[in-house]
A = this chain, B = another copy of it.
């Protein structure tokens, strides 16, 4: 890690270092993650916010190349899954990370409680329908993981059913990855106290009341069970083709910076070049000049 600098507004950050620091998998211990920590970054809030615009510009540029390549036959796409407890900052990631890129390049799907029609199908049915097309970054605000999170905690299906879902999810994600999809799964990890503070803020502010639901407190009362369910999902479904990243999220500015860097690290790995013209450029210039 870099030494603390007095010039924090130019505090550097390594996308690879963030990605390596936050990747989680087999044997993962959620209780060992401090939600207020800032792994692989020594800067403060101002430094993080100063870094974001240039990183967003780079991500936007790489996303446009990804899209351009799809016009020349590439099937590559990205699936970014965002999970977290209520108030963990999913909306902020949508607004400040996804929203910092060209909106034409990404598609956000917010998964709510399933509808009757969705419940009449396999739990992956609605997920498959929302997978991104070639050239796009698909972003899931909640996802199929709800089917081993709230469903497990609330016992919405028998244990033998949700137990089987971890393997089904791994098979599904392997299939998605085989279809040229780069899968990135993010858990925004906040502390119970931070959630309490954020819920209280929603209750204190009339412009935030619409975001509050009395049921949020019911869910909060199952905090330990949710943490166990998250830990199990990370342990059992972090695979080489679809790794989990657990992002400390008590500091919103760190979570946004971290998710942007994890996304960037994956985009850079794709070595995205502008596609070659599939026509004779000089010939078309002459045609155009004659109009």
Contact = CB atoms under 8 A, between A and B. Distances in A.
Nearest to A90: B104
Q: How would you classify the secondary structure of chain A's contact residues: helix, strand, loop or mixed?
A: helix
A102 B104 contact: no
A209 interface: yes
Contacts of A196: 288, 291
Contacts of A45: none
Given A95-B104, A212-B279, 6 more contacts: A68-B210, A94-B103, A103-B103, A103-B106, A196-B288, A220-B291
A210 B275 contact: yes
Given A104-B110, A288-B196, A291-B220, A210 B72 contact: yes
Interface string A104-115: 101010100000
A214 B279 CA distance: 7
Interface string A222-261: 0000000000000000000000000000000000000000
B102 A94 contact: yes
A94 B288 CA distance: 27
Nearest to A104: B94
A213 B71 CA distance: 11
B102 A217 contact: no
Interface in A249-291: 274-277, 279, 281, 284-285, 287-289, 291
Contacts of A104: 91, 94-95, 108, 110, 141
Interface of A: 68, 71-72, 91, 94-95, 98-99, 102-104, 106, 108, 110, 141, 196, 199-200, 203, 206-207, 209-214, 217, 220-221, 274-277, 279, 281, 284-285, 287-289, 291
Contact of A291 (B203, B209, B221, B277): B221
A216 to B, nearest CB: 9
A37 to B, nearest CB: 24
A32 B277 CA distance: 38
